Structure 1
């Protein structure tokens, strides 16, 4: 033994272990919280995609949890995945075009992630490149424009009469 098990054994009171059954019970009582428990199917339904979170991060977390649930069937995986999926374009695609199994769904997920990433790259590119005819910095002030010349006054206006009365 080594590590925490050795430390535990060293602090046991003398005479507290009289047989293997005593040792086993004491060991299990002490280390039962360290045991890795197998997750059940219901745990998959606790995952949420989250508002405005990319599909790629959701499927990554979902697959990590799904690996810890060996009893999950393809049908359970599909139901849990769509249950926690944010409503949007991909959700509508899955409703319109149902898949037969989880592997087929993963194929659709991969295709949609490609579209999602291409759209994000395009938005990023649009933000970094300004149109050629737009000023580089919108906050710059335009130079003052010359004032327009007023129309010459009519003879009536020059004499002080209101316009259109003579």
Structure 2
């Protein structure tokens, strides 16, 4: 069973040590870098939500959600949206359904509107990250034609 958990002093090193495979590194920043970005966003008025992804008491991944302004080039829907800015499953835990289960939990959390109301959730993704695009589409995300930081944006109406 997948759970989203806060990153704590106790689990931070395990989360920082999770990695995607070599050929996937171009798609996602390190978890340490992402947690540092959360700090920067939070101290500058942003609303980041970093979570460890656990499967049966074992950390298997990381997700970083934001609300509103992410500090990046932004799509037109940003003021009324949540963003799944980072999502990764460690290389040794991939292809076990954890990514799909994690997306279910992530969207469930977003739909509680923890930082405020929203009409959309968006995700920037690499055009050659076919597996991620298929996962997002299976949840109803659709490209909206916008490009941010040289990445297409896929959007889900909440």
The answer to whether the superposition gives a TM-score over 0.5 is: no
Alignment TM-score, normalising by the size of structure 2? 0.26
> Which structure has the highest helix share of the two?
1
Higher-Rg structure is 1
